[in-house]
Structure 1
Amino acid sequence: MRSHSSFWGAGAAALLAACAPVPEAEEDVPFRPVYEGIETRLLDGDLVSFVVSMRGARGPEDVADYAECAAAQYALIRGYGFARHLRTNVAEEGGLWRADAVYTISPALPRGLKTIDAEVTVFNCAENGIPMV
């Protein structure tokens, strides 16, 4: 049988733990990205690499979105309406996020699952304040 002193000791510890400050949830932290640049490399014909850097990303998806915006704008600049995502490598070191993404660009909707309509994507990027090429 449990003694009353150990019962109240455990209860008091639980109450104190409940009163401890709760760390801010990730969604409560304001998103303040700093876009540090885009490097575009034409690999072969319609195959293009985009290396982007940013600080303040919430995770890999933010820096991948930045690369996608660069690819969409580049496609439009070249007179194409579509791009197809081939791969994106993302790394973070000391708060600096980098993505190396490769896309094909084309005038017609390419085959594949990861295609983007360049005009729609550029519009969405502008609406979300993501800079482009």
Structure 2
Amino acid sequence: MMARAALISPLLLAACGAQVSGDQAMSFAPDYRGVETSLLDGDLVQFDVSMTGARNQADVDAYVECAAAQYALIRGYGFARHLRTNVYEEGGVWRADAVYTISPSLPRGLRKLDAEVVVAHCAENGIPTV
């Protein structure tokens, strides 16, 4: 189990461990506005998410990771590997489009997700998945 826990993305850990003042913590009220998925080719998937109330890009990245992890499980895979994410904010609405590969076995690369571990973390933190 220790090896699986080590695969949690650094972005999720950063989002959890971010130092915030009492006022910032109390005012964090994210509104997750949905996820759109597009299967690009075989195991290549694009995720488009939007939300308001994000404190910073790490909150949006965590939302995308939750979506990617759940999608991998839905498709019968146990892992996802991050390829790229574009995040932008306009008028208080944060949006991201990200591309991941999904796979049944542990992929190569630096930013890989163990889908079961990430989805459990998302549930514990109230971040919705697909």
> Which amino acid letter does the alignment assign opposite residue 91 of structure 1?
Y
Partner of 2:62: 65
SS of 2:48's partner is: strand
Partner of 1:107: 104
The offset of 1:42, in angstroms, is: 0.5
Q: Using the aligned pairs only, state the percent identity.
A: 74
Partner of 2:90: 93
Given the two structures, how large is their TM-score scaled by the length of structure 2? Answer: 0.81
Cα distance in 2, alignment partners of residues 74 and 46 from structure 1: 11
Partner of 1:42: 39
**1:6-17 superposed matches below 5 A:** none
Max radius of gyration: which structure?
Answer: 1
Between the two structures, name the one with larger relative contact order (CA 8 Å, sep ≥ 6).
2
5+ residue gaps, structure 2, are 1-19
SS of 2:94's partner is: strand
Given the two structures, how large is their TM-score scaled by the length of structure 1? Answer: 0.80
* Aligned counterpart for 1:82 among listed residues 79, 84, 91: 79
What is the aligned length? 108
> Which amino acid letter does the alignment assign opposite residue 109 of structure 1?
L
Computed over aligned residues only, the root mean square deviation of the Cα atoms, in angstroms, reads 0.8
The offset of 1:67, in angstroms, is: 0.5
